Amino acid sequence: MRNALKILTASALLAGAAGAHAFTPDRNIEFMVHSGPGAGNDVFARSVQGVLEKIKGLPQTVQVANKTGGGGLVAMSYLAEKKGETHLLAVFTSVWFVNPQIREKAKVTMRDLTPIARLVLEPAVMTVRADSPYKTAKDFFGAAKQNPGKLKQSGGSLSGRDNTTRHLLMKATGTEWQFISMKSGGERVAALLGGHVDMYIMEPAEALEQIRAGKIRVLATLMNKRIPSLPDSATIREQGFNVPEIPQARGFVGPPGMAADVKSYYEGVFTKMYKSSEWQNFLKANYYEDGFLIGPGLNKFVDEYTQTMRGILKEAGIKLVR
Amino acid sequence: MEILTNLAQGFAIALEPMNLFWCFLGVFLGTVVGILPGLGPSATVALLLPLATQMSPTAGIIMMAGIYYGAKYGGSTTAILLNVPGESASVVTCIDGFEMARNGRAGPALGIAAIASFVAGTVGVILLMLIAPPVAEFALRFGPPEYFALMAFGLSMVVLLAGKSMLKALLSMFVGLWLATIGIDMFTDSERYTYDRVELLDGVHFVVVAIGTFAIGEVLANLTSNSSQQMFKVPRGLRNLMPNWQDIKDSRFALLNGSLVGFFVGVLPGAGSTIASFVSYGVEKAMSRHPENFGKGAVEGVAAPEAANNSETGGALVPLMTLGIPGSATTAILLAALILWGLRPGPLLIQDHPEIFWGLVASMYIGNVMLLILNLPLVPVFAQILRLPGYILYPVILGVSIIGVYSVDQRLFDTWLVAFFGLLGYLMRKVEYPAAPLILGLVLGDLMENAVRQSLMMSAGDVSILYTRPLALVMLVLTAAVLVGPLFRRMAKWRLKVAEQEG
């Protein structure tokens, strides 16, 4: 009995001595993704999982869980309910900022959760089919001006990045064209390649192989600076159009009120990963922009990005609910 | 000639002992998940993605594709035996497959499903190997108006699915079309018929409706009719448990029709194996000399959809391999795997990494043979299940159904939903409304609505876009032919009667 007590006090002391940084995962860690297997987010989560495994960044196995539904809403409310859970992280994207502003049912904001790290920024690229008459963004806008509402762009949902970007472009140039929603990325690219639409805004990873095969052409990149993977493609600003950039941001977020030691543990994990050559190679291979950000900087980003998206949504004429 | 050299190299890769092992593991797992309703190939492939990315790309893709086409083999098993569609494409198989089982021909039905799967699976690979690039270019000509016409053609199959009453079949289809509207509308971002339930934001899952109306409805109907302890008679003797020569002869056109329809529908990124199976069934019935046998246990009614379902796999790999565009949930995961291996899938994949494409093609020939050898001996074994008395069999069906539904999204809500649709299925049976048109409406409704709205956005509201593009026009003419076909037949019959009376 006395021995047992001794052991108990000893272990309590040990736990105390290790202090605020004592948290280490003792079971499998779940990376939750709000989209189905094979989607951009899912590939991203699995890539992070792979890199962490290679550099032995975590002592436990990572599992990717797909919690789909309601355009991210199901995953967000699931995470919000898991207060105190220390082995669950979710991948956030711009949808996590947009949803609470436009959907009545999306009551969870990024501020309610525990943002841990922003890892990448994905630029947007404005593309047309290789045999299109438009060689520059200016050609496209010119044609859109002559035939208002006649040109077509394929894309995803109305609250997605491609549509908000379209609204910014239309406003900056005083033009107008159609946005045709399609369910899957495959359908959107196929519609461009088949000549059923005139333009598609995609991510470099999606575009580069099509460019290499001579199937599509870049009209402009939609970032403030030229992107390293497309050094010859002029930005929209260089072509004289003042359009703010909307990079897709991806990173990890934890349940509400995550304890400081747990949070700093995961920050350490992602910092270690960020510094590894495996991660840098991954960024290069998939044409991602490095977007590593943790701590106060990340909180500032969360607030600013929320406001930026708010302004864009308003401009895009999408109804805000709160 | 170049194809032969490439193929030989492909076989050299696929026949390496480890690759053979992965191929076998894939098709074996595929068969298992195919048999279990609910858990589909895409979920399984996703589960094994972490394992696959540790393997070499060639071995990984061989295994993952094995799961994909292997699941198509297994999907028919519960459809035929228990009226539980194992996956979306086997709803059509239920119609005649379950009737065959009821007539004591479960064995031949399972056998012909395996043979059809093998033949069509192999045809699918041959077509993938020979004509992938030109077919992919052709598929790109399908824009929203063409998809609309294809869906209209698909919906016209309701005429062929109708039993005694066309009106009842149409009503059933309209309920399906309504069910398809539930959820967030992509074009306006607004919710329709979600009744403030988060679970309904993505609509009603097709598996839930199919298992409810087919399997649970059937069990309820049997319980209340309370006829006999044993559902079916199962003949003794191995010979009666396998398809005979006549069955195979009767199915030969169905095999060809299903293989071709399945492949070409599979190539289109916006279609899918469910449409392929419905269309091939419709074509089969329309062309048949004995359309009256369909729905009563016609062997062709099993062979055609099962063939279509399997050659669809070969078709779905075409846009993935030649353009880097995934056309289905499972190919999207294969694409993810290619990215995770760092292979940069796109139009140049085959050129840059011929070993992957040709290794895959060769492994699919081998995998289909493995599947046939694996599945045929199981036929008599599975057929014995029907010897079980009702008081064991019915609870088993209910259990399998509920687990299947739950495994789709791990939501309790879906089990309530399946109970509701089970009740609906029972009532529909009582008042003789066919359930297949409801499923047809549910599956095609969403795709058709999207296509018509996309088309009208393209033309700024001008309806003529739907019928002025040549490809779309051809399909609409075919649709019209299917729709008026029965009318002509009825008129011809009536004329005959009048002539007889006068004469």
Q: CA of B337 to nearest chain A CA: how many angstroms apart?
A: 8
Mean pLDDT of B53-74: 93
Give the start-to-end residue ranges of the domains of chain B: 2-233+244-502
pLDDT tens digits, B138-168: 999 999 999 999 999 999 988 888 878 889 9
User: Any idea what DSSP says for residue A234?
Assistant: P
Domain A125-221 CATH class label: alpha beta
Mean pLDDT of B44-59: 88
Q: CA of A45 to nearest chain B CA: how many angstroms apart?
A: 11
The confidence score (pLDDT) of residue B205 equals 87
Q: Which residues of chain A have a CB within 8 Å of the CB of B39?
A: none
Partner residue opposite B184 with nearest CB, options A36, A70, A212:
A70
Whether pLDDT at A1 is above 60:
no
Rounded Cα gap, residues B125 and B123, in angstroms: 5
Query: Are B202 and A186 an interchain contact pair (Cβ–Cβ within 8 Å)?
Result: no
Identify whether the C-beta of residue B127 lies closer than 8 Å to the C-beta of residue B266.
Answer: no
Question: Quick check: B269 contacting A, CB < 8 Å?
Answer: yes
- For the domain spanning A26-121+247-315, the CATH number is 3.40.190.150
The encoded tokens of residue A156 equal 């995803």
What residue of A is the nearest CA neighbor of B336?
A: A38
Choose between B53 and A269: higher pLDDT.
A269
Torsions phi, psi for A89 (to 5 deg)? -130, 155
Helices (H), B162-244: 166-180, 206-210, 217-225
Mutation choice for B interface testing from A28, A35, A43 by most B CBs within 10 A:
A43
Choose between B144 and A287: higher pLDDT.
B144
Give the start-to-end residue ranges of the domains of chain A: 26-121+247-315, 125-221
Confidence of residue A174 (pLDDT cuts 50, 70, 90): very high
User: 3-class DSSP state for residue B184?
Assistant: strand
pLDDT tens digits, A10-57: 444 444 444 445 799 999 999 999 988 778 888 899 889 989 988 999
Q: What is the ipTM of this complex?
A: 0.88
Query: Are B189 and A102 an interchain contact pair (Cβ–Cβ within 8 Å)?
Result: yes
The encoded tokens of residue B86 equal 């194992």
Identify whether the C-beta of residue A108 lies closer than 8 Å to the C-beta of residue A285.
Answer: no
pTM: 0.89
Partner residue opposite B346 with nearest CB, options A157, A186, A212:
A212
User: 3-class DSSP state for residue A155?
Assistant: strand
Question: Closest Cα to residue A229, out of A302, A287, A297, A311?
Answer: A287
- Mean pLDDT over all residues of chain B? 90
Task: State what percent of residues in chain A have pLDDT above 70.
Answer: 93
Whether pLDDT at A2 is above 70:
no
The confidence score (pLDDT) of residue A105 equals 80
Sequence-distant (6+) residues with CB within 8 A of B382 are B77, B81, B106, B110
Q: Which residues of chain B have a CB within 8 Å of the CB of A47?
A: 339-340
- Mean pLDDT over all residues of chain A? 88
Rounded Cα gap, residues B321 and B327, in angstroms: 11
Rounded Cα gap, residues B358 and B362, in angstroms: 6
Choose between B125 and B194: higher pLDDT.
B125
Whether pLDDT at B327 is above 90:
no
Mean pLDDT of B377-391: 86
Rounded Cα gap, residues A180 and A170, in angstroms: 15
